[in-house]
Chains A and B, each alone.
Chain A
């Protein structure tokens, strides 16, 4: 089945247009009466559930407490019971609602006695300025029309119909016959993927079994609780299944597309069936019987139903999409679904876009949906500028006064971009987007936001680093009511180990720089997380190696753990533990220092006092808060020819071992 969305006129609108020009006879209802039914402009459309109907005034006054009460379809009885005066029953588990200015209409599916196989019937109840009207429509589908409707060919056919004006007690007052245009355009293919069809498939829901209801029903009896015993109301649920294959095979799943008829309910079903079973009961095997029980939905709305069921929209999302003003997002989203073969990611994105639109109807939000969809579909760049507020950087955590530290204590390590930094950086729209998307942002979009936030924080990401690359390596996460930018899982720890700042990172990504060019060459067109992690691991292995007097001697964990590269790990250990952590800031001088004092290590570890002018050789992170202190001693832990480890300590916060003697 192929659906198109844009600029498609409502089914009832077509009815109206057609009838203006159709031939009149004595049984025709008047133009004015038709206008009561057809209110094509400025209306909103929703699907109401049976529960919704319980509180609906038209339903209550015209059906439940009105003249149509005897026509309510009772699943506990025969579905073809003949009500007083009019041979149809009304299914009240669902209705289509049209709302306009001083106008409201409900459309119901109805069952009819002796109904031809392809006919479908609706009851339309309307209220205009307090005047109630009732119309019974019968659409005279044919097998050919249904077949055409469910394949992907362009078509335009005349669909015959009969409309009867009813009294409010169900008596037929007038009858009119006519035809309406029923067509589909060539583009906007929605549901045909790789030779497969999505077809609707009916399934009994809740209490619908002969075992407790004693009525003609499909199987699944004996597993339900009747409604009078606290069970749920019975009904059919529409499910959508994907049928593939060329057709013509004798097996059920690949049988030809066909239609069937469920005797008990008089409903049209579409599905696969084995060859030779041209008119299978229940629509055939494989399809199991695709049920089209909402013929009052025009093709566009069928598309929405399809979309809602496949993607898994909830009722609120589906009804939002039913509104005419919101439908124009569907064609592009449908293309994403098609292109990605209905992958989980594509369906999550589609659902996220709808949810985002539902939560925010501003023009900016619509622009966001349009541009985000376009970026996801075509890989075009996405500009996040309109959606991110400018902020003044406010760094989370303490600011260390490091004096002569050779590195800035305020280096922007994104690992530490805490919630406080970004809490004001994202406006309400973006917060809504985050909540709606549940982190299903496509990389190009997430990357665009990352770029904008980084820019606001003073980090100009090189222009040749694409949003996709940024989106692959960074993620935006919500922490309580705040947000932060984090590295993608798998590289955060590596970057923290290396203490490289975000500018280093994005420079590495940049294809015009050495690292980016290297990585891009290895990873194809872009720098992947995997290749970047390999790169970081190489960097990690490149912590300071002795080049002076300690060459050939064991240096152990001296620089592997206490080197200049390892700021974050040392700070975390100090902050979370009971022991201070020392770090070398001048590794070349440290190597010389260790070598000069090796001779004192014959009897175990020694703490060597250092003069004031050598205290910038390293620093100590205080346990508990990781505050930075100057070192007073160097601890040397011997091992054979060298040391297992060596690091700065501060005697005011750490007990000293045996003291050594400082050698200048």
Chain B
């Protein structure tokens, strides 16, 4: 099997025109680019390190959340988003950096005063079957 070299952090930023920063997935969120981010992830998943996958999941969820807030989500985008999320919920890695955790942590917004800003939390909780 061909040994593929991983994409560097800078290469991903260059590919997508994103900035390098803490909270990469949050600060670079874009409600208009959810589909593009998902497609990029799906195309390059084998080239992304586990940490970058974790951050990419944060980027997609954060962007989709903004799209929900800006009412830019149609049926196709919702389908694409759920199709993107479900495999990560099946990740059995127990590490804090697991893809499961990258998704499940968003449900913490359901309680407290932040819930109006994070409609995606309810969708994820529903997908988790809780």
Contact = CB atoms under 8 A, between A and B. Distances in A.
B97 A569 contact: yes
B23 interface: yes
Category for how many chain A residues contact B? 35 or more
A548 to B, nearest CB: 12
Contacts of A576: 49-51, 97
A496 interface: yes
A496 B96 contact: yes
Nearest to B52: A577
Nearest to A654: B22
A497 interface: yes
Interface in B1-56: 9, 20-24, 26-27, 29, 49-52, 54-55
Query: Considering residues B21, B23, B49, B50, which has the most beta carbons from chain A within 10 angstroms of its beta carbon?
Result: B23
B94 A647 contact: no
A572 B94 contact: no
Contacts of A644: 23, 26-27, 29
A3 interface: no
B47 to A, nearest CB: 16
A493 B22 contact: no
Given A493-B101, A577-B51, A605 B27 contact: yes
Contacts of B92: 489
B22 A635 contact: yes
Contacts, number: 94
Interface in A461-498: 487, 489-490, 492-493, 496-497
B111 interface: yes
A568 B24 CA distance: 18
Contacts of B110: 541
Nearest to B93: A493
Interface in B97-130: 97-98, 100-101, 105, 107-114, 117
Contacts of A395: none
A561 interface: yes
Contacts of A543: 108
A568 B55 CA distance: 16
Contacts of A580: 22
A647 B23 CA distance: 9
B109 A546 contact: no
Interface string A530-544: 000000000011110
Chain B interface main SS type: helix
Given A555-B114, A576-B51, A569 B23 contact: no
Given A489-B94, A578-B20, A637 B26 contact: yes
A545 B113 contact: yes
Nearest to A578: B9
B63 to A, nearest CB: 12
A557 B26 contact: yes
Given A493-B101, A569-B96, A637-B27, A541 B111 contact: yes
B95 interface: yes
Given A541-B108, A557-B23, A552 B96 contact: no
Contacts of B29: 644
B96 A554 contact: no
Contacts of B94: 487, 489-490, 492-493
Nearest to B24: A579
B105 A560 contact: yes
A573 B51 contact: yes
Contacts of B24: 579
B20 A579 contact: yes
Query: Considering residues B21, B95, B100, which has the most beta carbons from chain A within 10 angstroms of its beta carbon?
Result: B21
Contact of A645 (B23, B97, B107, B108): B23
Query: Considering residues A497, A579, A635, A655, which has the most beta carbons from chain B within 10 angstroms of its beta carbon?
Result: A579
A493 B27 contact: no
Nearest to B106: A560
A178 interface: no
Contacts of A657: 21
B26 A545 contact: no
Contacts of B54: 573
A654 B24 CA distance: 13
A657 B101 CA distance: 29
Contacts of B112: 541, 545
Interface in A577-591: 577-582
9 contacts: A497-B101, A545-B112, A557-B26, A569-B96, A573-B51, A578-B9, A605-B27, A635-B22, A644-B27
The 3 A-B pairs of least Cβ separation, nearest first, read A569-B96, A496-B96, A492-B94
Interface of A: 487, 489-490, 492-493, 496-497, 540-543, 545-546, 551-552, 554-557, 560-561, 568-569, 572-573, 576-582, 605, 635, 637, 639, 644-645, 647, 649, 654-655, 657
Given A568-B96, A637-B26, 6 more contacts: A487-B94, A492-B94, A496-B96, A543-B108, A556-B117, A578-B20
